[in-house]
């Protein structure tokens, strides 16, 4: 972590990104955060809430299943499609059409950790490219460090000193 801050102080974003990757690589399996742009966008999209037209309740997009409703002839002509996507509100059980559904972003009272951040930005050449890169790098580093410090907390809680582990084994033997 010291290495990350010293690189940032020198505006050395390339090495700051490398240092963040290095800190992350030291982690064990499940606590290591993943650099995956597609997965990150999928996870953050999943926090979109669908608003029911009838009861106005909000439902997480993950909790609703989209159905393809076959339309009566007149409507199918009107929509130029035999089917219309719809979903059932889990609260009032009424049918909503996806194309007219309102979405709201789910708000979290506490920070939420995903274990995934986008892939680190790549250096672009030219003055404008460089400025964009620096901004992207600062944003990415902030995001990655948030995730990493959360992961560090998890790692510390899960860590059982070797001496304690021996005691636990002894207890089992006594049973
Ligand atoms: Zn409803």
| Segment-wise mean pLDDT, segments of 10 residues, the chain, 175 residues | 85 92 82 87 76 93 88 85 91 93 69 81 77 88 87 64 50 47
- Give the distance (Å) from ligand 1 centre to CA of residue 94: 6
Determine the pLDDT at residue 173.
47
User: Beta strands of the chain (E only): which ranges?
Assistant: 34-35, 48-51, 58-60, 67-70, 83-88, 95-97, 102-105, 116-117
- Give the distance (Å) from ligand 1 centre to CA of residue 50: 10
Give the domain range for residue 148.
Answer: 2-44+109-159
pTM recorded for the entire structure: 0.55
Check whether residue 56 and residue 139 sit in a common domain: no
Check whether residue 99 and residue 150 sit in a common domain: no
- CA–CA separation, 172 and 71 (whole Å): 64
Angstrom distances, CA of residue 147 to CA of 24, 31, 115, 122: 10, 10, 6, 20
Is 175 inside a domain boundary?
Answer: no
Pairing of strands 102-105, 116-117: unpaired
- Give the distance (Å) from ligand 1 centre to CA of residue 86: 13
Check whether residue 117 and residue 33 sit in a common domain: yes
CATH number at residue 51: 2.20.25
């Amino acid at each position: 972590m010291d290495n990350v801050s010293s690189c940032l102080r020198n505006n050395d974003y390339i090495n700051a990104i490398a240092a963040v990757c290095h800190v992350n690589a030291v982690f064990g399996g499940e606590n290591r955060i993943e650099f995956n742009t597609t997965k990150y966008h999928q996870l953050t999209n999943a926090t979109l809430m669908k608003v029911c037209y009838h009861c106005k309740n909000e439902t997480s997009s993950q909790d609703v299943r989209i159905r393809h409703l076959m339309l009566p002839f007149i409507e199918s002509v009107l929509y130029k499609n035999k089917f219309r996507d719809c979903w059932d509100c889990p609260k009032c059980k009424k049918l909503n059409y996806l194309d007219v559904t309102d979405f709201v972003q789910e708000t979290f009272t506490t920070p939420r950790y995903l274990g995934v951040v986008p892939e680190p930005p790549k250096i672009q050449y030219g003055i404008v490219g460089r400025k964009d890169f620096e901004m992207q790098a600062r944003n990415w580093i902030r995001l990655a460090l948030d995730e990493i410090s959360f992961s560090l907390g998890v790692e510390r809680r899960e860590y059982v000193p070797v001496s304690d582990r021996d005691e636990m084994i002894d207890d089992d033997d006594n049973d």
